[in-house]
Amino acid sequence: MASLPFLNDGQDYIYVEEEEENLMEVDLANLIDLTGDSPYLRRGSLRDRGRGRVQAYQQYTREDGMALKVGMVVELNQPSGDPKIRFLKIRSIIRDDHTHEFMLRGWAYSRGRDLDGIVPLKLNEVYLLVFTDNSDPRPWEEQALVDVHPSKAARQRELRTTNAPFPEWRFRAEEYRKKGREWVTSFGPLVCRYRYFEYYNGPSNRDARKPCEWALSRVTEEDADDRYKTRNDVIVNNWRGGKTRGGSYLPNQGSRIPTVDLEQVPGPSERAAIEPIRLLPGQRYSAGDAFAGAGGVSRGMERAGAHVVFAIDHWSPAVASLRSNFRQSDIYHMDVTDFINNRSINYRVDLLHLSPPCQVWSPAHTRPGRNDEDNTAVLFSCTHLVDKIRPRVFTLEQTFGMLHSRFRLVFNTLIHGFAMHGYSVRWKVVHLASYGLPQPRKRLIIIGAGPGEKLPPFPEPTHSRTGSDGLLPLVTAWQALAPLRRIRAHEHHQPATTRRFGVPKTPWDPNRPLPHTITCGGSDNYHWDGTRDFTPLELATLQGFPRWHNFTGGYIKKQIGNAFPPSIVKVFYEHLISWLDRQDGVDRINQACCPPRFPQRAIVESRELEVTGFGNAVVFEDLTAQAPAARASPNGRVEVDDDVEMLDQSDVEIVDITDSDGDEEVPGDCFSDTETLRGDSEPREAMSGGTSPHPVIILD
């Protein structure tokens, strides 16, 4: 069986969280290479296409009389490559002017058994193989072409490309009963419902088979054969009862089960999807958060503009933090299996995130642990959660150690489970610093799209080491912690009483990201002056939490270290919400429920603040904020400033006024303990964030 690219298992590992990731970096450079290409098969590349001149033909007749034509699908008598190419759909027939050799140029297909378990094994279900180079400007349809010698064509086959769910359009049961499995395998119709993608950064990585991203993408309605296509809205309706364009959450209605009246949709579903719609006041996409921890993902979803309908976790301290921050969400303190099996719990949210436990998938985890079996079961429960909730789009994050060859079977089984339910999925190892996190954290992230939905790409990076090509420089530790210099009193930020080192450690330059990843134990990071630990609030801020997120219930550093950074979640879910808006025909800004009332500007502490309002949102932007010069504090004390607290550009920027009907004036000064800005003079307990002792205060 072919082996898809995974990390090689080549050495022993030390069970230290950060060292695990450093060692994994070594293994990342040793992804399994593509075995030598067959002399009868050559994958297309931009370089190959530029060599010599070729002439195109519509037909070629072999010496044995077999006529090969453009558009024909042929089975190969000598499968080659990795995964094995067993079928070719001829897109062109070329003749090299120099060698005078004819080649069949087309799309390559494999059977499910060639994909190492990531797809269900169904008789005569085949998968289009697409290897693309990110530096190649050509579309994937061209990059996927391979050249095969005409002598390798064994027989013509029928191929049905469809977006319909299995088992529609497969061979007839009567054929199987009468002629048997062997005949169906050799002569029955083939069905393609999925494409398997590998993405590469540059020709050398493509030649060495070192992909940077993978995808298993369901055939879309647009790309299906006319005879075998099904409308997207029919597929969505059959899978999850339809959808509400623009989001299924409406205030006071929760996440109601969405419906689409198929009889009222005129013509193809895509025609309906591009017609703009008018949003109802307060309408947003609904979201759920599984394995929610202290609420990092829930906070990021909220800040991206989604409404968190429910969150679930089994750890008591984390649940306490969830309940203190998300009073308007349904919080479940229970095991995920109980949640799945409880028939009285029934949600249909647009967005779902999954963060199953990851310790067992560490490359340093070489000896069986007492919770390994439970954690494996919890991982596979993710597919059952997706089946229960049936989100339009889901995300899953894990340690990138899961791509290690040791866990190949487990990971492929996970992808297999999503494909069983008709989901498209893409995955890659993401450097979170590229999206603004001030630490060298890397995670495996999976994005999935439900039946009838298009698979979103990953968001484009926002930051880079050089800060070139229109990207921002990496966020430094000093920049990230700048807002805390104005904190007067906070239960989780008391530098004067935090643990001091008997022997000071080596100071480090704060004008760069953290030197180490934040872990559930707090990691090896310490304050840059070398005299003390970071406070819990400093760690939370460096982990991407807004400083008003409330941690309670004990084990605060562990809660912080276990969290998926909300600042990263915000970037990803803003991207996913924008993607769904485009699919739904929503122009959220131009269809805001109330007209613009701003901008207004004010000067505070020599900083120019622009306040822009549109619809149900208000944006505060610091026009003059710059990163201060890096320096080490001599004693680690907190600076006290009696002037108004200003939000740093990296902190809260958008606040909703969901109670506004568009006619009343927004107060000139706004007090809020959350992104949900209601104009209250005191924080309200029902609001999802902050506490009365330390609210976020914004004055214009």
Question: pLDDT tens, 176-205?
Answer: 999 999 999 999 999 999 999 999 999 999
Q: Which two tokens stand for residue 637?
A: 């004390």
- CA–CA dist 7, 624 (Å, integer): 45
- pLDDT in the model for residue 292: 98
Tell me the pLDDT band of 405, cut-offs 50, 70 and 90.
confident
Tell me the pLDDT band of 626, cut-offs 50, 70 and 90.
very low
Q: Kindly tell me if the per-residue pLDDT of 429 is higher than 80.
A: yes
Q: What are phi and psi of 481, to 5 degrees?
A: -95, 0
**Better pLDDT: 390 or 496:** 390
Residue of 394, 461, 462, 456 lying closest to 582 (CA atoms): 456
- CA–CA dist 608, 627 (Å, integer): 15
Tell me the pLDDT band of 643, cut-offs 50, 70 and 90.
very low
DSSP β-bridge partners for residue 161: 192
Tell me the pLDDT band of 658, cut-offs 50, 70 and 90.
very low
- CA–CA dist 206, 34 (Å, integer): 9
- pLDDT in the model for residue 144: 97
**Better pLDDT: 502 or 73:** 73
Residue of 458, 444, 415, 429 lying closest to 194 (CA atoms): 415
DSSP β-bridge partners for residue 610: 601, 621
Q: What are phi and psi of 318, to 5 degrees?
A: -65, -40
H helices present in 51-166, as ranges: 140-143
Q: Kindly tell me if the per-residue pLDDT of 277 is higher than 90.
A: no
- pLDDT in the model for residue 154: 97
Q: Kindly tell me if the per-residue pLDDT of 366 is higher than 70.
A: no
Q: Kindly tell me if the per-residue pLDDT of 517 is higher than 80.
A: yes
Question: pLDDT tens, 73-97?
Answer: 999 998 988 899 999 999 999 999 8
- β-pairing, 125-133 vs 153-157, is unpaired
- pLDDT in the model for residue 592: 53
Tell me the pLDDT band of 652, cut-offs 50, 70 and 90.
very low
Residue of 146, 20, 171, 149 lying closest to 85 (CA atoms): 146
Q: Please tell me the least confidently modeled range out of 224-238, 442-456, 577-591, 597-611.
A: 597-611
- pLDDT in the model for residue 590: 73
DSSP β-bridge partners for residue 612: 619
Q: Over 53-90, what HEC string results?
A: CEEEECEEECCCCCEEECCCEEEEEEEECCCCEEEEEE
Amino acid, single-letter form, for residue 253: Q
- pLDDT in the model for residue 6: 54
Q: Which two tokens stand for residue 693?
A: 């002792």
SS3 label, residue 200 = strand
Above pLDDT 70, what percent of the chain?
71
Residue of 578, 572, 697 lying closest to 644 (CA atoms): 697
Element (H, E) at 121: none
- pLDDT in the model for residue 498: 87
Tell me the pLDDT band of 175, cut-offs 50, 70 and 90.
very high
User: Which residue do the tokens 């070192």 mark?
Assistant: 210
**Of residues 192, 358, 593, 594, which has the active-site annotation?**
358
Q: Please tell me the least confidently modeled range out of 120-124, 150-154, 246-250, 584-588.
A: 584-588
- CA–CA dist 373, 376 (Å, integer): 5
Angle at 664 between CA 658 and CA 670, to 5 degrees: 65
Amino acid, single-letter form, for residue 207: D
Angle at 296 between CA 290 and CA 300, to 5 degrees: 100
Determine the length of the chain. Answer: 700
Residue of 225, 70, 248 lying closest to 150 (CA atoms): 70
Tell me the pLDDT band of 619, cut-offs 50, 70 and 90.
very low
- pLDDT in the model for residue 549: 96
Amino acid, single-letter form, for residue 235: I
The CB density around residue 132, as the number of other CB atoms within 10 Å, is 21
- pLDDT in the model for residue 3: 57
- CA–CA dist 296, 293 (Å, integer): 7
**Better pLDDT: 592 or 294:** 294
Average pLDDT taken over every residue of the chain: 80
DSSP β-bridge partners for residue 56: 94
- CA–CA dist 412, 405 (Å, integer): 11
Tell me the pLDDT band of 27, cut-offs 50, 70 and 90.
low
358 is catalytic: yes
Angle at 314 between CA 311 and CA 320, to 5 degrees: 70
Q: Kindly tell me if the per-residue pLDDT of 393 is higher than 70.
A: yes
Q: Kindly tell me if the per-residue pLDDT of 308 is higher than 90.
A: yes
Q: Kindly tell me if the per-residue pLDDT of 219 is higher than 90.
A: yes
Q: Please tell me the least confidently modeled range out of 414-418, 455-459, 520-524, 616-620.
A: 616-620
Q: Are 258 and 241 in contact, with CB atoms under 8 Å apart?
A: yes
E strands of 360-423, at which residues?
393-398
- pLDDT in the model for residue 597: 36
Please list, in sequence order, all residues whose beta carbon lies within 8 angstroms of the beta carbon of residue 541, skipping any fewer than 6 positions away: 480, 481, 483, 484, 547
- CA–CA dist 572, 613 (Å, integer): 23
Q: Kindly tell me if the per-residue pLDDT of 558 is higher than 90.
A: yes
- pLDDT in the model for residue 655: 34
Tell me the pLDDT band of 394, cut-offs 50, 70 and 90.
very high
Q: Kindly tell me if the per-residue pLDDT of 311 is higher than 90.
A: yes
Q: Which structural domains are found in the chain, ordered by start? A: 32-228 (2.30.30.490), 241-264+273-461+564-571 (3.40.50.150)
Tell me the pLDDT band of 584, cut-offs 50, 70 and 90.
very high
Amino acid, single-letter form, for residue 261: D
Tell me the pLDDT band of 274, cut-offs 50, 70 and 90.
low
Element (H, E) at 231: none
Tell me the pLDDT band of 578, cut-offs 50, 70 and 90.
very high
Question: pLDDT tens, 463-485?
Answer: 999 888 899 999 999 999 999 98
- CA–CA dist 444, 213 (Å, integer): 10
For residue 315, give the DSSP letter.
-
